Structure 1
Amino acid sequence: MPELHFCDGGPLTAQYLLVVDSLNFCFWPDAELQYEHLAGGVKCLQGPRCISAARLAEIDGPGVQQLLGWHRELPEQDERARLLREVGAGLLQHFQGQAAELVTAAGQSAVALVQLLTAHFPGFRDHSIYKGRQVFFYKRAQIFVGDVYGAFAGKGLGCFHDVDQLTMFADYRVPVVLRLMGLLQYSPELQQQVEGMQELASGSEAEIELRAASIVAVELLKDAANAQLLQPPQLLSIQLDWWLWHEGERMRAQHPPHHRTMTIYY
């Protein structure tokens, strides 16, 4: 994991990552707030009690602000507190208060871990209805699995025999990079809305299509890259996502605007 993150190679790392990924959404309403403030803020806390399930189960909005060390109210601050309380209560009820127990319960299956997260923590149930059909993205659930995999280098708690089943993490940063690469093309209406920094409604057809198209584009990119590799290991969708996201972060000042959606899912 990058130096930005806490990583001690043990159970506390899983606890840290679950807290971070419970809060990993919708930074854009505060122009100064970025992912690194979330990851770095939680990392700087003193002692494991700061992110214990018992403390999370009782946290309020100002407590979340204190957790991150942010100097003003966070976007969706009360919702972030509610989600952390949900995580704390769920860990206490089902997993002895430990995210590591949650990971272990999945039996080294990335898919099973996503299922456990969405079964016990409703805030991770990232889904929409598209033309009468339910569509599941599970961005934050998948990114937790990917973060555990990355933090433990695919070993120990991070060993998943089916990590290749994870998709990219459908957010608002990666589509910008995919569009600049020519892998996504916006309709004139969507382009006007995104570049005009108008909010794209959560659950709207355009928002769902943009997220779904991003997943398909990364799958096609992965398949094309892997076709050029003569031997394993082959690229994973989550590895491509990591690269695309970091590229988007690195060049965000030069890139065109990303789409803006108020949501707890990304």
Structure 2
Amino acid sequence: MATLQENVQDSEVLQCLQDASQQLQDAINRQQLQLSQDGDDNGPKETNTTQQSSAAAVSANIDDAHLDDPDAMAAAFLAQQARKQQAQLKLPVDEWAKVLLRRRCHNSEEESRSSEYWKHPCELVRTTCREWTQQEQCVVSIQNTNIPALAQEVQKHAAITWDEDDWHYSGKGFGGTEHDRRERVALYIMALDAINFCFWPMQDNDSSSMKTTATVPIVDNPLEYEQLAKALKSMAEADHDQTNNHNYALSPQNLSTMTPSKMKTLFEQHLNLEQYPIPNLTKRAELWKELGDGLIREYSGSALQFIEAAEGDASQLVERIVTSFPGFRDEATWDQSRLVFLKRAQILVGDIDAALQLNLRGMDQLTTFADYRVPQLLRHWRVLQYSSSLEERVDQKMEITAGSVEELSIRAATVVAVEELVKYLNNNSAPKDDNESLTAPKYTDVQVDWYLWQVGEQLHAKGELKPFHRVRTHFY
């Protein structure tokens, strides 16, 4: 593997490729040994010929092989191509191999559903994000010296209430029981946060059309969270006369049958899709269906039963969300390191707690919701500093790859920066009243996130902020 060694400098990457190539060769040898044994025993000659052709296909064209370990197969294919066609690879060998490393250490679906895998989810977010920001590969730095100035801005303002602008459904005017009203509010919040992501693209499937050059600026979709929240509010209010809990738009039964065309038809009644096109309806419909299916399968079709299963604990509710609904499992891996963000899962808990006035325990354990707007504002306040290359890409509105070093750095640094801001606020703020506990946190990451997000929305609308980073993702 002299050629491969010359082109792959990372020893771990090189070892991965070498191991994968050996795994492939071992698999071929096992197949050939089995061929020989079958032929010696009672295997017909034509069967041997067929199997030999299959073994030859494995050796010659790894894409056609049917091995037990697809990652090893892919890595071996990469190693083979790196040796033969290094100049023709679209990406450097290191980059391809790192993708394979990330795939190799990604956990199985069964494991990622387990409560043990997601135990203490909010702490996972904190620790993995802080570890990432301390690594040399992180391309976003936190300027702690600028945190006091931002803290002063936060302290100047009264606490921002959750639905200050009346965008959300509250069940006002609903004629059913109080229990059913709360059920519908809970379903509204869950349906909203299931599809609360990535509003900026104008087109679904042509990512190249979204990239910008120095002379062709990108045109953003005017759709924002506000329009989505109001559209779902309109859907919920239109069904107030539906006393049968199975027949309204956001019922688990209806969500479980969701398709892209059905979703589009539903939105057309409550939102001007020509003015506010909704990108990636396919994924959004899939997530609504997943939500409906999960509630029916595990919680008798009841959002309140789902919430009550967490026994009033915010962190347990986050854990239940990610174990019951795979679309909320917002994490990434890089070089065998796990990064956990859980933006939509945590914001769902924050929204449910506020909308239903639950006063969940441990709300101070939630982290900030790493999205587009908060890092945009933190950069404006010089709390986050991007590398020169990342700064250029963001400012030119160039799309950043999901799961890349750039994206992971922005999100991890956002979580840590807000945590540091909250620590500063709590260490430098007087009690709000004489009855306030001296040990209770005066500020939480969730409260500060709401403030930063709403201020960011206002400044962005006024054109006072530099561009946000653009990533196509269903996590935020």
Match of 1:256 in 2: 466
Residues 1:96 and 2:300 are matched in the alignment: yes
Give the count of matched residue pairs: 262
2:295 alignment partner AA: L
Shift of 1:65: 2.7
TM-score, length basis structure 1: 0.95
Aligned with residue 39 of structure 1, among 229, 237, 241: 229
What is the distance in 2 between the residues matched to 1:18 and 1:67?
17
Residues 1:192 and 2:392 are matched in the alignment: yes
Equivalent runs, 1:147-226 vs 2, <5 Å? 147-153=351-357, 158-226=358-426
Residues 1:7 and 2:170 are matched in the alignment: yes
Larger radius of gyration: 2
Question: Deviations for 1:222-263, whole angstroms, at most 9, x for unmatched residues?
Answer: 011111223345111001100111011111132111000000
Shift of 1:159: 2.5
- Partners of 1:130 and 1:208 within 8 A in 2: no
Structure 1: gaps (5+ residues):
none
What is the distance in 1 between the residues matched to 2:335 and 2:389?
19
- Partners of 1:54 and 1:88 within 8 A in 2: yes
- Partners of 2:195 and 2:284 within 8 A in 1: yes
TM-score, length basis structure 2: 0.54
Shift of 1:202: 0.4
- Partners of 1:129 and 1:135 within 8 A in 2: yes
What is the distance in 1 between the residues matched to 2:302 and 2:409?
36
Shift of 1:50: 1.1
Identical positions, percent: 36
Q: Say if 1:223 and 1:67 are closer, same or farther in 2 by CA, change over 3 A.
A: farther
What is the distance in 2 between the residues matched to 1:264 and 1:40?
20
Structure 2: gaps (5+ residues):
1-162, 172-180, 203-220, 240-244
- Partners of 2:186 and 2:303 within 8 A in 1: yes
What is the distance in 1 between the residues matched to 2:310 and 2:199?
30
The root-mean-square deviation of aligned C-alpha atoms, in Å, is 1.4
1:220 alignment partner AA: E
Question: Deviations for 1:79-108, whole angstroms, at most 9, x for unmatched residues?
Answer: 000010000000000112122111111001
Question: Deviations for 1:147-177, whole angstroms, at most 9, x for unmatched residues?
Answer: 0122133xxxx22111111000000111010
Match of 1:76 in 2: 280
Shift of 1:265: 0.2
Q: Say if 1:66 and 1:40 are closer, same or farther in 2 by CA, change over 3 A.
A: farther
Shift of 1:60: 1.1
1:110 alignment partner AA: A
**What SS is found at the alignment partner of 1:135?**
strand
